[in-house]
């Protein structure tokens, strides 16, 4: 049973009346380098939060410097780990639950990359932070991807690999599990079945156009996911706030691709 603290914090992040989650992530600079859309974080956050996502995930230094003006408007998720371009298959621990509590966060998130030489260490870390989060009444979000060295690139989006990743998180007490979309609603439904009521989509095979991105999101929700957690396709868009509003029509209002494109006012432009 969830503690009262976890219940309260989860409900702060959960949209009502849809009961779904819409996360935006801005934790990419350590993992992949500084993207143009994240060079000026003050400006980036202003554009993103204008679209009113439910929560935003970031590292502690960015939160400490830039988040306070948006307190009460959007939930803060503190990122507790990161991989890097130089160690792409290992997420190292960089923040702790007590920091999330002191910063007023509504959740803490940790990355885990399964299928590699250091999977055991990362699962051990996930188990440790799961215990800490439980004691503090802090929801735990895991970003779990099957991208270790033992998994062939062509198998990373397979139902089997994604199901294993998702189930590992569920068995270690994770409250929300973020993983890749395998390409079809039918395949993702099988993944979601491994952790009912916990899975949100991080994205999947690259989408080139706005229509493809909306079609993927529609597929995510049709598969039974409890929401989405998107990054580059939002803050990399020319109008992040409008992109968020268009996506929320699908995630929270159960609208279709046509309605999302109408909100965006787009003729189906290319992304990026």
Task: For 82-139, give the DSSP string.
Answer: EEETTEEEEEEE---HHHHHHTT-SEEEEEEE-SSTTHHHHHHHHHHHHHHHHHHT--
Taking a C-beta distance cutoff of 8 angstroms, is the pair 47, 241 a contact? yes
- For the question of residue 27 being annotated catalytic, the response is yes
Percent of the chain with pLDDT over 70: 96
Q: How confident is the model over 84-106, as a mean pLDDT?
A: 97
Rounded to two decimals, the pTM is 0.96
Q: How far apart are CA 242 and CA 234, in angstroms?
A: 9
Q: Check 20, 27, 91, 106 and give the catalytic one.
A: 27
Q: Give Dmax over CA atoms of the chain in angstroms.
A: 49
% the chain with pLDDT above 90: 95
pLDDT tens-place string over residues 51-82: 999 999 999 999 999 999 999 999 999 999 99
How does residue 208 score in pLDDT terms, banded at 50, 70 and 90? confident
Beta-bridge partners for 185: none
pLDDT confidence bin for 267, thresholds 50/70/90: low
Judged against a pLDDT cut of 70, whether residue 244 lies above it is answered with yes
Q: Is the pLDDT of residue 1 over 70?
A: yes
Give the number of other CB atoms < 10 A from CB of residue 205: 12
Residues 142-185 have pLDDT tens digits of 999 999 999 999 999 999 999 999 999 999 999 999 999 999 99
Indicate which residue of 90, 145, 157, 181 is catalytic.
145
Kindly tell me if the per-residue pLDDT of 268 is higher than 70: no
145 tagged catalytic = yes
Residue 238 annotated among the catalytic residues of the structure: no
Give the model's pLDDT for residue 203. Answer: 78
- The pLDDT of residue 272: 59
Averaged confidence pLDDT in the chain: 96
For residue range 102-143, list pLDDT tens digits in order.
999 999 999 999 999 999 999 999 999 999 999 999 999 999
Which residue in the list 6, 20, 147, 178 is annotated as catalytic?
Answer: 178
Query: Where along the chain do its domains lie?
Result: 4-264
Predicted confidence at residue 40, as pLDDT, reads 98
Pick the CATH number of 4-264 from 3.60.21.70, 3.20.20.70, 3.40.50.720, 3.40.50.300: 3.20.20.70
């Amino acid at each position: 049973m969830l503690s009262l603290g976890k219940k309260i914090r989860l409900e702060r992040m959960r949209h009502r009346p849809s009961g779904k989650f819409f996360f935006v992530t801005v934790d990419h600079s350590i993992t992949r380098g500084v993207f143009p859309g994240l060079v000026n974080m003050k400006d980036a956050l202003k554009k993103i939060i204008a679209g009113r996502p439910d929560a935003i995930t970031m590292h502690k230094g960015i939160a400490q410097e830039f988040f306070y003006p948006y307190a009460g408007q959007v939930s803060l998720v503190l990122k507790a780990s990161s991989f890097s371009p130089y160690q792409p298959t290992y997420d190292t621990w960089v923040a702790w639950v007590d920091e999330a509590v002191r910063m007023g966060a509504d959740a803490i998130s940790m990355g885990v990359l399964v299928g590699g030489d250091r999977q055991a260490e990362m699962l051990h870390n996930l188990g440790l932070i799961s215990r800490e989060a439980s004691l503090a009444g802090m929801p735990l979000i895991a970003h779990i991807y099957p991208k270790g060295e033992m998994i062939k690139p062509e198998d990373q989006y397979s139902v089997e690999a994604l199901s294993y990743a998702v189930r590992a998180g569920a068995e270690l007490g994770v409250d929300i599990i973020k993983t890749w979309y395998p390409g079809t609603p039918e395949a993702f439904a099988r993944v979601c079945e491994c952790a009912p009521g916990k899975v949100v989509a991080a994205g999947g095979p690259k989408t080139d156009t706005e229509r493809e991105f909306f079609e993927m999101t529609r597929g995510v929700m049709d598969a039974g996911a409890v929401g989405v957690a998107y990054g580059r396709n939002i803050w990399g868009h020319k109008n992040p706030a409008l992109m968020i509003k268009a996506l929320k029509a699908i995630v929270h209002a159960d609208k279709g691709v046509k309605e999302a494109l109408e909100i965006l006012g787009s003729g189906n432009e290319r992304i990026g």
